[in-house]
Amino acid sequence: MVLALCAFVGAITFGQEKEPTVPEATEIYEPVPPKVIPGKNGSAPSDAIVLFDGSNLDQWISAVDSTVAKWHLNRDGSMTVKDKTGDIQTKQNFGSVQLHIEWRSPAEVNGEGQSRANSGVFLSGLYEIQVLDNNDNSTYVNGQVGSIYKQHVPLAMASVPSGEWNSYDIIYHAPEFEKGQKVKSGTLTVIQNGVLIQDNVEIKGTTPYIGWPKNPPHGKGPLRLQDHRDNSRVSYRNIWLRELD
């Protein structure tokens, strides 16, 4: 009897059947992966959806009332939170994605704790990766920069000095639901400035300020950026993603 213990690599199954004796028996030729032309210096690869290139806010709307996004569009190709106008989100909805986004806290330090350059990147509009200036500014570690808010402490604090540009490269696999119940948790991997800070961690649910994570069933959702409503002055630039589903 052959044991049902197998590992899968591509379309090849390694089990306890007779081992191949010719190299061709373990070679596969289809499907051929699509060709993607990489970007340079953080720019978008050829198959990416560019959500913000500095020229306009056409891909974004107010998360409050779906009107035109009211954040500041800057001459240097960035956008900055306009205080107390509310979060903004993409017009388009997405599921699992590879996301690149760059953000900057203001060089002029103002506030402390959670009130210093606080913003956030929300996947599916629900799951927050924290943006915060933690340089010489301590706070609860499951709410510091790079945390999956109130769920996962980052593996490292990899921020650049205040006023310089940070990058987040994020791999997000959305949770799966059947008949209104979660059947598979989502996961997040985050690399900040080239440093792995979240390693395929489980998304336990929503990321509320108060209370436990919740798991409302959902499909694809927007990418949302937070206005913390305390004069955060956080700026963003060079936002693109690749759909993974």
Residue 195 has pLDDT above 80, yes or no: yes
- Predicted TM-score (pTM) of this structure: 0.92
Q: What gap in Å lies between CA 105 and CA 118, rounded to an integer? A: 8
| pLDDT digits 0-9 by tens, 115-172 | 999 999 999 999 999 999 999 999 999 999 999 999 999 999 999 999 999 999 999 9
Kind and range of the H or E run holding 182: strand 181-184
Q: Give the N- to C-terminal CA distance of the chain in Å, as an integer.
A: 38
Residue 42: which pLDDT band, with cuts at 50, 70 and 90?
Answer: confident
Q: Tally helices (H) and strands (E) across the chain.
A: 0, 17
Q: What gap in Å lies between CA 230 and CA 145, rounded to an integer? A: 17
> Average pLDDT for residues 215-244, to the nearest whole number?
98
Calculate the average pLDDT of the chain: 94
Residue 210, number of CB atoms within 10 A of its CB: 5
CB 171 within 8 A of CB 243: no
